[in-house]
Amino acid sequence: MKISIILQDQTEEHEMPEVFANQSSAVRSRLVEILDGNNDGPGKLQEIADTLRELIPHYNWVGFYITLPGTRTLVLGPFAGQPTEHTRIEFGRGICGQAAERQSTFVVQDVSREDNYLSCSIKVKSEIVVPIFRDGSVIGEIDIDSHRRDAFTEEDSRFLEELALRTEPLVPKDFPE
Ligand code: SME
């Protein structure tokens, strides 16, 4: 039997995938602008939170929780939306703490069915929390609340996991002070 091997055009095959490919061009271009900008790390995290809340309709509260170095405590960092009483959350508590403990994205499509949940507002119906890793540890999280039940899809998870990779360098080692 004769086997023929077709060599494909390498340039096409190895093209860099588009950044935040599954987002609208408005979101993509604003995020790239922020990431390339001159603001410091926490300033960029604030700009990202503001942008996501403003441009993505089902993201009603967007915030970053940062792990207090050397502890299992998450502290509220930059956020956009209503202020929350949950400014410190231990690993294991609530949706945020469970995501930190599991070291993986945690989506709750109906918060009324989740026992281990810390409520910020009765308007919130679903939530996604995506850990930010450094050297294998959870150094922070992206937390998003939606006023819609079943708001989050696989696309949200993929997008936010990509964003988590890109925000890792923005979390200072001594943050929050
Ligand atoms: N609902 C979260 C607490 C943080 S707020 O959503 C801002 C939780 O259960 O961990």
Query: What confidence score (pLDDT) does residue 13 get?
Result: 47
Q: What is the Å distance from ligand 1's center to 95 Cα? A: 6
Give the count of beta carbons closer than 10 Å to the beta carbon of residue 44: 21
Q: Are the C-beta atoms of 74 and 89 separated by less than 8 Å?
A: yes
In the numeric block, the tokens 């956020």 are attached to 79
In the numeric block, the tokens 């309709």 are attached to 57
Q: What is the Å distance from ligand 1's center to 96 Cα? A: 6
Query: What confidence score (pLDDT) does residue 4 get?
Result: 47
Query: What is the phi/psi pair of residue 90, to 5°?
Result: -75, 145
Q: Are the C-beta atoms of 129 and 99 separated by less than 8 Å?
A: yes
Give the count of beta carbons closer than 10 Å to the beta carbon of residue 84: 17
Query: What confidence score (pLDDT) does residue 22 get?
Result: 86
Tokens of 7: 């060599």
The larger pLDDT score, comparing residue 158 to residue 16, is at 158
Evaluate if residue 27 carries a pLDDT over 90. yes
Q: What is the Å distance from ligand 1's center to 129 Cα? A: 9
Ligand 1 pocket, residues with Cβ under 6 angstroms: 61, 63, 84, 86, 89, 94-97, 117-118, 120, 127, 143, 145
Give the count of beta carbons closer than 10 Å to the beta carbon of residue 35: 18
- For the stretch 79-131, pLDDT in tens is 999 999 999 999 999 999 999 999 999 999 999 999 999 999 999 999 999 99
- For the stretch 135-162, pLDDT in tens is 999 999 999 999 999 999 999 999 999 9
Q: Which band of pLDDT confidence, cut at 50, 70 and 90, is reported for residue 177?
A: low
Give the count of beta carbons closer than 10 Å to the beta carbon of residue 105: 19
Q: What is the Å distance from ligand 1's center to 58 Cα? A: 16
Give the count of beta carbons closer than 10 Å to the beta carbon of residue 43: 14
Evaluate if residue 14 carries a pLDDT over 80. no
The residue type of 55 is L
Q: Closest Cα to atom 3, ligand 1: which residue? A: 118
The residue type of 119 is S
